[in-house]
Amino acid sequence: MGDWAGYLTLILGGAWVTVKLTILGSALALVVAFVAGLGRLSRRAALRWTATAYIEFFRGTSIFVQLFWIYFVLPLTGVQLSPLQAGVMALGLNVGAYGAEVVRGAILAVPRDQYEACTAVNLTRFQRMRHVILPQALPLMLPTFGNNAIELLKATSVVSLISLADMTFQAQVVRSQTGNTLIPFAMILLIYFALSSIISFAIRRYERRVTRGLDGVR
């Protein structure tokens, strides 16, 4: 039974991989969400179509299929990715597609008169987006972004299936070595729950910060 300390470090090491995947995946998803979300609102038809195709494709298939495709099929075309890179890429592109719809929805939710006011005071398109539209759209996006980040955290468990040693993978290792099923799985469930609670807490804090001063507006 003295091995339990070793198994504990194994699972905590896996937890660190899970955290890394979540942070890197979320960062990629955030960038992709804004690029694709703004792309769908672009004046150029080609850009709009590309963004739409990307969004529909990644929302239409599951993260699991995408991950396997990136990990097993992409190398055959000469793109060699480590499991971590494949994981981050699949998570970021998948959740980014959902995020893009959030970005688009929030921007469209800013009332028309805001746009007209910008025209009236002669702002450029960039100034309008940067100083008027986005500051009002961001608070609308945050709650859903928080949910998306939690979905991303949950989806990281799937990378264990391409033998990336995340928390779920390590729990399986502990299970097969000790024959004990309850303890490793109960433990990682608690850690996942703690992590998702941290995310939702952080998003609520941040939400309060960005909505400060918007009371009269909404």
Task: Summarize as ranges the residues that interact with other proteins (CB under 8 A).
Answer: 56-57, 59-62, 64-66, 68-69, 72-73, 76-77, 105, 144, 150, 153-158, 160-161, 168, 171-172, 175, 181-182, 185-186, 188-189, 192-193, 196-197
| Residue 84: CB minimum distance to other proteins, A | 18
Contact 29, 148 (CB under 8 A): yes
Based on CB atoms, which residue is closest to other proteins, 179 or 216?
179
Judged by beta carbon, residue 49 or residue 57, the one nearer other proteins is: 57
Cα–Cα dist 168/158, whole Å: 8
Q: Please, which residue, 38 or 161, has the CB nearer to other proteins?
A: 161
Cβ pair 45, 108 in contact under 8 A: no
The residue (of 4 and 125) whose beta carbon lies closer to other proteins is 4
Can you tell me which residue has the tokens 């769908």?
40
Alpha carbon 21 to its chain's center: 10
Residue 39 CB, nearest approach to other proteins (Å): 19
Tell me the torsion sign for CA atoms 166, 161, 168, 159: positive
Minimum distance between the CB of residue 67 and other proteins, rounded to whole angstroms?
Answer: 10
Per the CB < 8 A criterion, the answer to whether 27 and 92 are in contact is yes
**How near is the Cβ of 16 to other proteins at its closest, in Å?**
17
Q: Rounded distance, CA 144 to CA 137, Å?
A: 12
